[in-house]
Chain A
């Protein structure tokens, strides 16, 4: 039974409401307004009373016991409400003046008190306690109530359909688990938070802002650590990676992605699935593995398989790497080389050409020389090209 702090609420749910329903009393707008105010005052009184009580408890063990008892009491009071109103009425977003509306406001007050306990005494609050079936019915209804609106808003905001599916998976899993005993307070709190935060984004985001990106950032902050979202996140990095040509660019992108995910401040205590590693951890691990793979790839000489080597023979140029880079530069600038990605040209050249000093041209040195062409190199190349022009002219 609830302690002294919750006595008034217990009487309200156990006596006043049943009496009112039994007598079929008319509930007018004025009563609803006054009732909401009175509940708010009562909630504030309870919060103050609980805080004072907690401040007076010295032993941590007793403190934990008290907080958890109050948590259980609040959850139980929620379940008693089902004696007077069905989950649809309790969780309704629009309220009509009737007895069930009074229960709806009590439900909201109990929810506020639970959030208060959780926020202020998180260390003693039992997030992993299983919630009673009746309470689960109300919570499911509350989420179900907003789900349709949420889906419509998400789709109207042109959010990636795949992302919408992933977000909804978490909600539908809760709704479909009506008969399972696996729903903890942590899960309920998480999904309520997610739902509210999504609505907040949609209500505040401007037309021009990238709502998909805001949703993704939210999921990262809230540690939405299910496999579909981990795959979604890594897949996004993978797609961008495939559009990059050089190993350096790829490594830069991976390092940047790692920095980005690690710099997002997540909300302490929030996790979709406590059994899985955090989202940050899973995505970071994937990035680090990918980085390792890229580093290893760069250390290996770029070469064709032996079978190809026997067919193809490298072109041996009587040019230095710097002169070759300057020649490519001129070709690119003049439109002779039409490849959009210069890195691809470098890779092909590195694989197929030897210069007078080296059998294996390094990708990096070719790129460096390309970016910084020296005067001497330019003059020497002009001289070589001039002799080629002269040779062509002499051809009859």
Chain B
């Protein structure tokens, strides 16, 4: 985590920070994702997005392990539309190294064109900063 990022929320499965300068919300997911903690963290992200009036999210899945098919459809059809309605415009998704987590992420992509995938956090951050 970078110095300029302010930690807003910490859970076992997810850490949410804010880059105040660029107003980018940084969500770093960690380890295995069980259904309830995942959805809870998702809901907190939605609240924080509204609260800080962000439209950009860096969704870092680098360290996610294992499949999370249990919540893939919910993410795609419920969470993303709510997020978009709340003001989300650009979602930089850093792919997990774990193949099962990667397959789950592919399943969770929304129909709306707000997501762009990356392999490295720096790349994703750079892209977000160039977006309006």
Contacts and interface: CB of A to CB of B under 8 A. Distances in A.
Interface of A: 8, 11-12, 15-16, 19-20, 23, 25-28, 30-31, 34-35, 38
A20 B69 contact: no
Given A20-B67, A38-B103, 14 more contacts: A11-B97, A11-B99, A16-B66, A19-B66, A20-B66, A26-B67, A26-B70, A30-B69, A31-B67, A31-B103, A34-B106, A35-B99, A35-B100, A35-B103
B89 interface: no
Q: Interface majority SS on B: helix, strand, loop or mixed?
A: helix
Contacts of A27: 67
Q: How big is the B interface, by class? A: 10 to 19
A54 B66 CA distance: 34
A199 B100 CA distance: 34
A28 B67 CA distance: 10
B100 A25 contact: yes
B97 A20 contact: no
Contacts of A30: 69, 107
Contacts of B65: 16, 19-20, 23
Interface in B75-118: 97-100, 102-103, 106-107
Contacts, number: 44
Contacts of B99: 8, 11-12, 16, 35, 38
Contacts of B67: 20, 25-27, 31
A23 B32 CA distance: 8
In the A-B complex, the 3 residue pairs with the smallest Cβ-Cβ separation, listed nearest first, are A34-B103, A25-B66, A16-B98
Nearest to B72: A30
Contacts of A19: 32, 65-66, 98
A16 B101 CA distance: 9
Contacts of A34: 103, 106-107
Contacts of A26: 67, 70
